A = this chain, B = another copy of it.
């Protein structure tokens, strides 16, 4: 049978160095002055016995675990993974441990995991994306556990947040296509009843049309749920059908790059050239965008920065640093590549 080797504890160090437990604690934590000689004896014992404080015991005592919880929809999606990279980097740098859970847009699952993180006494929690849902977040916030919402809009400005201005980003993108000469601009999105970030992009699209005197044409707008879990395949299938119905705008902008890449494949199979016959634009600036054929014009979200900003803000709050602004909005930028060009008519 496996037998756990007993780890050395603060007691062992105290005995070994001939001082009291509390003294050892004070040299470890620098929490009181300890005479040089004593300190050295203690350090010697610590090194010799390879002592490392038990964080669980410390956590029980201090109520601080130096742990942050991260709730997100799905780590396997590149956008999420890249943001998480930023969070992880800062957590590590600032000496926090990251606990991660994926909820796959299931709000009950999210709550379940939230509870299990709370049970672990995480020092703070990041709600990264996921469906809109307010109550459970507010409840945690109200019980004075630091929380932060990342890429997930909620009205309550009391709750710290890190967001991108999705509305402005999409408005800018559509404006870019308009300025290129496009007047039939299509939009592809998931349904967005429960996801404000996605709805904001849609509203940005609508707003840009309006600003430029363009009429909203439902034939050019695809709102479909089958794309959500299968961004590439789903979009491909949906576009295939749309193209057959001959309802084709001169430019399509999508909610996310993978939708754009799926769309591009479908469109090309119908003999349409990108961007000569139709312009296509994505959103996110995934790594792959530079290597699609042709390389995809897109809107860049500062993924790593989003993660870093969120982690830093949350940890600042946990550590009760002074916060100037707890609702941070990050900028996006259009990355022009080769899938966008003036429409065919304009060129003639």
* Neighbouring B residues of A100 by C-beta, 8 Å: 88, 98-100
| Cα separation A89 to B236 with both chains bound (whole Å) | 28
* A116 lies within 8 A of chain B by Cβ: yes
A75 touches B52 (CB 8 A): no
Given that A60-B57, A119-B54, A288-B288 are known contacts, is A84 also in contact with B88, CB under 8 Å in the complex? Answer: no
Given A55-B121, A56-B56, A67-B120, 4 extra CB contacts under 8 A: A4-B144, A76-B78, A236-B291, A261-B288
* Neighbouring B residues of A5 by C-beta, 8 Å: 143-144
- Count residues on chain A whose CB falls below 8 Å from chain B CBs: 61
* A97 lies within 8 A of chain B by Cβ: yes
What is the count of identical protomers in the complex? 2
A144 touches B76 (CB 8 A): no
* Neighbouring B residues of A85 by C-beta, 8 Å: 74-76, 102
Given that A60-B56, A67-B120, A120-B55 are known contacts, is A232 also in contact with B291, CB under 8 Å in the complex? Answer: yes
Instruction: Give residues in A with beta carbon < 8 Å to B.
Output: 2-5, 52-57, 59-60, 63, 65, 67, 74-78, 80-82, 84-85, 88-89, 92, 95, 97-102, 113, 115-121, 143-145, 232-233, 236, 258, 261-262, 265, 268, 287-288, 290-293, 320
B52 touches A118 (CB 8 A): yes
| Cα separation A4 to B65 with both chains bound (whole Å) | 14
| Cα separation A119 to B28 with both chains bound (whole Å) | 14
* Neighbouring B residues of A77 by C-beta, 8 Å: 81
* Neighbouring B residues of A89 by C-beta, 8 Å: 102
| Cα separation A169 to B60 with both chains bound (whole Å) | 49
A120 touches B144 (CB 8 A): no
10 example contacts (A-B, Cβ-Cβ < 8 A) are as follows A54-B121, A55-B120, A56-B65, A60-B60, A74-B85, A76-B81, A97-B101, A232-B288, A232-B291, A261-B291
* Neighbouring B residues of A95 by C-beta, 8 Å: 116
| Cα separation A101 to B60 with both chains bound (whole Å) | 23
Closest to A233 in B: B290
A99 touches B97 (CB 8 A): yes
| Cα separation A120 to B287 with both chains bound (whole Å) | 35
Whole-angstrom distance between the Cβ of A9 and the nearest chain B Cβ:
11
| Cα separation A84 to B54 with both chains bound (whole Å) | 27
* Neighbouring B residues of A54 by C-beta, 8 Å: 60, 119, 121
A-B CB proximity, top 4 nearest = A76-B85, A81-B81, A293-B293, A55-B119
Given that A60-B56, A291-B232 are known contacts, is A117 also in contact with B97, CB under 8 Å in the complex? Answer: yes
* Neighbouring B residues of A101 by C-beta, 8 Å: 88, 92, 97-98
* Neighbouring B residues of A57 by C-beta, 8 Å: 60
Instruction: Specify which of B82, B117, B118 is in contact with A76 (CB 8 Å cutoff).
Output: B82
A268 touches B293 (CB 8 A): yes
A119 touches B52 (CB 8 A): yes
B287 touches A232 (CB 8 A): yes
B262 touches A56 (CB 8 A): no
A265 touches B288 (CB 8 A): no
* Neighbouring B residues of A143 by C-beta, 8 Å: 5
| Cα separation A58 to B59 with both chains bound (whole Å) | 12
A88 touches B102 (CB 8 A): yes
* Neighbouring B residues of A60 by C-beta, 8 Å: 54, 56-57, 60
